[in-house]
Amino acid sequence: MGAPCDRCEELLQDFLDRTLSDDEWREAETHLSDCDYCRRRYRFEETLRRYVRTSSVERMPPGLLDKLAELRGLDATA
């Protein structure tokens, strides 16, 4: 895994929460467009949040849970 992106970790959460200013939004979009790590995290977090919103976490597909465990594992070593 490449170097963790501390700055975009912050951006990503706000990006998902839709609480970014215009400048930050552009910064996040630009970063997501050329950072594989964050793009994958973004896609995953977005999917996860959709499940959480619809209260269907317990019915998450097994593959998604595996993916979650994998990502959390990566976070732990970052």
Q: Is the dihedral of CA 25, 2, 71, 61 positive or negative?
A: positive
Please, what is the minimum distance in Å from the beta carbon of residue 78 to Zn ion? Answer: 11
Over the window 12 to 51, marking each residue x when it contacts Zn ion by CB under 5 A and - when it does not, the resulting string is -----------------------x--x-------------
Distances (CA, A) of 54 to 31, 50, 65, 73: 29, 6, 16, 25
Stretch that binds Zn ion, among 8-16, 17-25, 52-60, 64-72 (CB under 5 A): 8-16
Question: Which pair of structure tokens corresponds to residue 53?
Answer: 């919103």
What is the contact surface with Zn ion in residues (CB under 5 A)? 5, 8, 35, 38
